[in-house]
Every structure is written in structure tokens, then in C-alpha cells.
Structure 1
Amino acid sequence: MENLIAIDGMALPVPDAITVTIMDLDGESERNSLGQLIRDRVATKRKVEVEYKKLDGPTMRTVLEKVEPVFFALAYPDPYTGGRRTITAYCGDRSVPIKYIRNGQIYWNVKLSMTER
């Protein structure tokens, strides 16, 4: 499956895993005297977590450079719509452990957490 994930129109390598979280953002929510929740849902946003395993150095750098801007256009497969969706997102945490070293070449794992603006 090509073009599963694209940032600013550029396809990234096919990830090993994609997790889409659909999040409700609440304003002020509280419980009334009957214990019922009075909820002020202000928005529904997406968080897209992408995981790569065994990326070489140049590919790792390309992926990290694409998520470096404060905001970017993220295209991904959306489970709610069943199709491709594009959102304006930012990248929070970037976990990048070394997977292994072979013949002096470092191979990296990376997990990116991208959240809708």
C-alpha cells in the first residue's frame, strides 16, 4: 500500500503500524446534583501515531525533517470515514531508539505522534 501517509503532499515510507485515535475535546464539564455529566464538547480531533522499524539514517532524517514544522498537512487513512483524510497537524513526541547496528550502519525505529490542530 503506497501513500498511506503523506506530509505536505510528499509520501512517506509505508509505516509498520498506524494508530488513529478519535478524541473529544471538552470545555467545562461537570456533574449536576443527580450525578449526571453536563458535558461541553467543543471539538473532535484526530491523533495519528505512526511507527517505523529499521529505517536507515537518510530515510530517518527525511521522516524527521517532514514533521519538524510547527504545523503541516497530514494525509492518512481515516477509520471513521473509511477513506483518506487530510488534516492540519503538529508532531508532538518523536521516540527514536536505535534498533541495531550492522556493518557500521545504524538502523532506527521511530514512533511519531501527530495531533490535529
Structure 2
Amino acid sequence: MDLKINDQPIAALPSEMTVELLDLDDAESTTRTADGTLNRDRVAVKRQIQMSWNALTMAQISALLKQMSGVFFQFRYPDPMAGVYTTKTMYVGNRPAPMAMEKNGVIYWNGLKVTLTEK
């Protein structure tokens, strides 16, 4: 898979990746009538991408987190709706890395999860 952040190959390929299409509706003009009919004003369709990793060395997790440290960054990924690789401006939410262990003097992190959301 040819994933890139700011035109650089991603520091480690995720073990799992989910691309979600989000409909954004105008909060003021999207309403339901008394009979339950929806009057919808969709203003945009955005992408949200969840990724997770199995065991990563300290160097790998550090490189990944640094690649996503900007307020916004460019992310290249295969888009299921477009049917091709696409680059979007994204930001990252919380980045939990729940499990660290040491083996033969090397620290590994297991279970890093990130959610990227299109700007």
C-alpha cells in the first residue's frame, strides 16, 4: 500500500485501516417536520480514516507520531469512493498507544490507534 504523509512514505504501514465517508449537514436548515419527514441540507462529504498498528519499535512509533504532528497535513491513501489513490488535507485526533513492553533491550508499543479527519 502506498500511504504517504506530506509526500513521504508513512513510517510504518497500519495493520488495519478503515475509510469512512461522513455527510455534514447544515445544523440550522436540516430539520424534521411534525410527521417525521427529514428536510436535509447536506453541505459536504468528508473522509475520516481510522488506523491501528500492531507492535512498533520506539523509533517507528516516534516517526509516525512526528509525521502527524502538524495541525494539518497531506495524507495519500486509496479512496473507496473515488476508486483511486487520493490526497486530502487531514488532522489527527487523540493518539493512544496503550501497551509498551521491552524485549532484548528493544521497547515495543502495541495498539497505536489514530483517527484522521478531513479538513
TM-score, normalising length: structure 2: 0.90
Map 1:71-82; keep pairs closer than 5 Å: 71-82=72-83
**2:9 corresponds to:** 11
TM-score, normalising length: structure 1: 0.91
> How many matched pairs?
115
Partner SS for 2:19: strand
Displacement of 1:99: 4.7
Rounded Cα–Cα distance in structure 1 between residues aligned with 2:101 and 2:15: 17
The 10-residue stretch of structure 1 (28-37 or 15-24) with the greater mean CA deviation from structure 2? 28-37
**1:114 corresponds to:** 116
Rounded Cα–Cα distance in structure 2 between residues aligned with 1:108 and 1:34: 52
Rounded Cα–Cα distance in structure 2 between residues aligned with 1:76 and 1:21: 12
Between Structure 1 and Structure 2, the one with more strand by share is 1
Kept in 2: contact 1:53–1:99 (CA 8 A): no
Rounded Cα–Cα distance in structure 2 between residues aligned with 1:101 and 1:74: 31
Amino acid in structure 2 at the alignment position of 1:6: K
Map 1:89-108; keep pairs closer than 5 Å: 89-108=90-109
Q: Deviations over 1:1-60 (max 9, x none)?
A: 4x2x21000111221111101000111221113320011111100001111111100111
Structure 1: runs of 5 or more not aligned: none
Identity of aligned residues (%): 37
Map 1:13-52; keep pairs closer than 5 Å: 13-28=12-27, 29-52=30-53
Rounded Cα–Cα distance in structure 2 between residues aligned with 1:51 and 1:74: 16
Rounded Cα–Cα distance in structure 1 between residues aligned with 2:17 and 2:106: 26
Q: Deviations over 1:84-104 (max 9, x none)?
A: 010000001111112532123
Structure 2: runs of 5 or more not aligned: none
The 10-residue stretch of structure 1 (94-103 or 73-82) with the greater mean CA deviation from structure 2? 94-103
